[in-house]
Amino acid sequence: MNSTAILGQSLTLANGVVIKNRIAKSAMSEALGTTDNRVTTQLPTLYDAWARGGAGLVITGNVMIDRRALGEPNNVALEDERDLPLLQEWARRGTANGTQLWMQLNHPGKQSPKLVSRRQPVAPSAIPLAPKFKPYFNDPRELTGADIQDIIQRFATAARIAQKAGFTGVQIHGAHGYLVSQFLSPLHNQRKDEWGGSIEHRARFVLNVLSAIRHETGPGFPVGIKMNSADFQRGGFTEEESMQVAEMLAEAGIDLIEISGGTYETPIMTGKDVKESTQAREAYFLEYAEKIRARVKTPLMVTGGFRTAAGMAEAIRSGATDLIGMARPLAVFPALPNDLLQGRLERCDIKPRNTGIKLVDDMAMMELAWYAQQMERIAHGKAPRPDRHPLVGFLQYVYTSALRGFRTQRLRAG
């Protein structure tokens, strides 16, 4: 069977939901909400482009479950049904062409920058980020038991609203150092109660989030998770612990596990410092997927590094993964899945975006910002600009983020 035939195969989840092909658009933060974190008309336009682009599964950028806890300015926050008509339009256009559209749900925990809030962020334990991030993030306070229960219910409420709006599933963001990831990490979670300590206790939070979402949405509504293969930090969440959590989630009935890795402090998910042997196989986390495949039967999605149809097809043929996750390439080439599935394109190379300023280039957020600017162009009905110089994009990002952050803080103060 050739590459296009393999990529074009459908995938049926345990609950009977069918994903029409093996290409999935992984989450990227769009920052296309309003200053007060509501849905805009740009989001349906952007997701219409991806639905028409041919991916079988499209996962939204992180939708925050609490507007007091944001990852960046202009995140969408989903706490109630005030934006239901626009959410329905987003879902309608994002599910066109037989596309599965899942909303990614997130809480940033301590990774909520000063730029968007003067409030003290929260975390499993009152442990700050690495010293180099001190200028950008306030030190967190430890969550109380009541805080934790409130956040769990917020995940469930957001999932219920997403389902009502017409999204066909949700994904829990459990990677990249955000709150779920913080609970799982022994480096960031040093609690002595039922939410910390052993891996079984540290996984209690995400298992409770999954259970609460199931209670609100029912068994037929897909719930996936994006989780780290490891944090790649000394004393952090390890590969073995990750596999144990995957087994717990599989036992609890999770529908899809997307594998990623790293945090703001160690941004492996961007391809930074990836070994040559890993690059040769394209996918950053394929070796981990092969190990976890022997331990769980839950469908897997590997994201990061795939660039050729042959490499994607081989990863599926080998059984290491069931879905090919792609993110940055689709911010520049939204119709890339169609091109791959119809044999018009064999390879899509995305070069690292560097400004030449070491401090900037070492931060994962900067490269992500360049792609966010490409998505914003698509959302306004314009073509992406892959030739845009990263330094120009960086300067625009700094100005825009500062302006948006000021407006957000002024709104909160009012």
pLDDT at position 384 = 93
Query: 105: burial class by Cβ within 10 Å (0-12, 13-18, 19+)?
Result: buried
**Which structural domain, as residue segments, surrounds residue 129?**
3-413
**pLDDT digit of tens for each residue in the chain (414 aa)?**
798 999 999 999 999 999 999 999 999 999 999 999 999 999 999 999 999 999 999 999 999 999 999 999 999 999 999 999 999 999 999 999 999 999 999 999 999 999 888 889 999 999 999 898 889 899 999 999 999 999 999 999 999 999 999 999 999 999 989 999 999 999 999 999 999 999 999 999 999 999 999 999 999 999 999 998 876 667 778 889 999 999 999 999 999 999 987 655 554 444 444 444 444 445 678 888 999 999 999 999 999 889 899 999 999 999 999 999 999 999 999 999 999 999 998 888 777 777 676 766 666 566 777 888 999 999 999 999 988 777 676 677 666 766 666 677 666 655
Instruction: Name residue 200's amino acid.
Output: E
pTM of the model: 0.91
| Of 284, 381, 371, 282, residue with least CA distance to 27 | 371
Instruction: Name residue 384's amino acid.
Output: P
Tell me the CATH number at 195: 3.20.20.70
pLDDT at position 223 = 98
Q: How far apart are CA 321 and CA 315, in angstroms?
A: 6
pLDDT at position 268 = 47
pLDDT at position 262 = 61
String of b and e for 214-237 (b: at least 16 CB within 10 Å)? bebbeeebbbbbbbbbbbbbeebb
- Using alpha carbons only, what angle is made at residue 57 by residues 165 and 45, rounded to the nearest 5 degrees? 60
- Using alpha carbons only, what angle is made at residue 171 by residues 170 and 175, rounded to the nearest 5 degrees? 165
Instruction: Name residue 260's amino acid.
Output: S
> For the chain, what is the domain count?
1
- Using alpha carbons only, what angle is made at residue 259 by residues 115 and 5, rounded to the nearest 5 degrees? 125
